[in-house]
Amino acid sequence: MKILWVDDQVDTAQTFANILSSNGIDVEFSTDGEDALRKVEQCSYSLILTDLAMPPGRWGGLWLLERLKHIASAPPVIVVSGEGSQQETIQAIRLGAADYVTKENLSTELLTQVQNIVASDSAAIDALKVISGGECGSVEFKSTLRFNLHAKRADSNIELACLKSIVGFLNTAGGTLVIGVKDDGEVLGLTLDQFQNIDKFQLHFWNLVRDAIGPEFSEYIAAQPVTVKGEEIFVVNCRQSNRPVFLKWKSSGESRAQELFFVRAGPQTEQLGTRQALAYINSHFTES
């Protein structure tokens, strides 16, 4: 990992950069915004750390952030904020800075913040690649987890559609379900599901998995919120299970839940009848 640290006081920055270097992070320095912009156009960086007050003022951190907005592949930026620069820090966040760290907390907070931002940006890049590739046998998009956009209400059938995709991936060769994205790849975000916050969304998701699929299969499911294009989406990566997975679902009007078996067939999720399911299980699973 290589990051660019923009600060006219390189000697001071070097002291804290040693913390990053000792953790396998390559740090390159620039003394003003203009030089930093030139470096970003020529090299690839995972992250930029920038001071705000660098003479001459027009080449400072805010100047750099403004220019980076026009570079599509620009890396995320963490602002190194000095005492008394709260207003400038707020302005930097509005210009697109991912986070900030105060100079007095560099020794205790810098490494964690760098690692968190880089990990988040990497997840966003991966998610964008999945979205740009469109739906296929291993990728499915769902606009929402529970909210019916046409009926404008929560709908268990929407939850069922998401769970069917997950079970289909688990029973076939694995795959990725992205919630908060339309079939055509348009990013909608998670706010349409009307949860109070992302924690409530995740709790609801995992409760659905536990009740309808079973907690024993959670080891095959990795799910996380990811911010892309300014919106938070939910990416669910599924590995192929080594044993058959059934979806336990009780539809409206039914007295008890049914156990349903789904597989992926090209870009669709298909339900198999009893005989088809038994044949599929016998030919695809070592443990049943």
- What domains sit in the chain, N to C, each tagged with a CATH number? 2-131 (3.40.50.2300), 134-284 (3.30.950.30)
Output the average pLDDT for the chain: 90
**Tens digits of residue pLDDT in 241-274:** 999 999 999 877 777 889 999 999 999 999 999 9
CA 217 – CA 188 distance, rounded (Å): 28
Indicate if the pLDDT at residue 191 is higher than 90.
yes
HEC profile for 188-250?
CCCHHHCCCCHHHHHHHHHHHHHHHHCHHHHHHEEEEEEEECCEEEEEEEECCCCCCCCEEEC
**Tens digits of residue pLDDT in 54-83:** 766 557 888 999 999 888 678 889 999 875
pLDDT at residue 55 in the model? 66
pTM for this entry: 0.68
pLDDT at residue 77 in the model? 92
Cβ-contact 194, 158 below 8 angstroms:
no
Going across the sheet that includes 175-179, the strands are: 139-142, 175-179, 231-238, 221-228
Indicate if the pLDDT at residue 168 is higher than 70.
yes
Indicate if the pLDDT at residue 198 is higher than 90.
yes
Higher pLDDT, residue 286 or 25: 25
How would residue 84 be classed by pLDDT, with cut points 50, 70 and 90?
low
Query: In the chain, count of helices (H) and strands (E)?
Result: 8, 15
pLDDT at residue 152 in the model? 95
CA 234 – CA 180 distance, rounded (Å): 7
* Tokens found for residue 87: 């207003």
Query: At which residue do the structure tokens 């599901």 appear?
Result: 193
Percent of the chain at pLDDT > 70 equals 97
* Tokens found for residue 237: 């990566």
Angstrom CA distances, 235 to 123, 150, 269, stand at: 9, 23, 18
**Tens digits of residue pLDDT in 103-138:** 888 888 989 988 888 777 788 878 988 998 999 999
Radius of gyration over every alpha carbon of the chain, rounded to an integer in angstroms: 24
pLDDT at residue 234 in the model? 97
Helix (H, G, I), strand (E, B) or coil at 281: helix
CA 287 – CA 282 distance, rounded (Å): 9
* Lowest-confidence pick of 69-73, 102-106, 201-205, 236-240: 69-73
* Tokens found for residue 8: 């006219």
pLDDT at residue 57 in the model? 55
pLDDT (average), residues 282-286: 88
CA 288 – CA 282 distance, rounded (Å): 8
Q: Is 28 exposed, middle or buried (0-12, 13-18, 19+ CB in 10 A)?
A: middle
* Tokens found for residue 212: 């309808």
pLDDT at residue 171 in the model? 97
Indicate if the pLDDT at residue 286 is higher than 80.
no
Percent of the chain at pLDDT > 90 equals 58
How would residue 186 be classed by pLDDT, with cut points 50, 70 and 90?
very high
pLDDT (average), residues 169-194: 96
Higher pLDDT, residue 159 or 117: 159
CA 166 – CA 269 distance, rounded (Å): 9
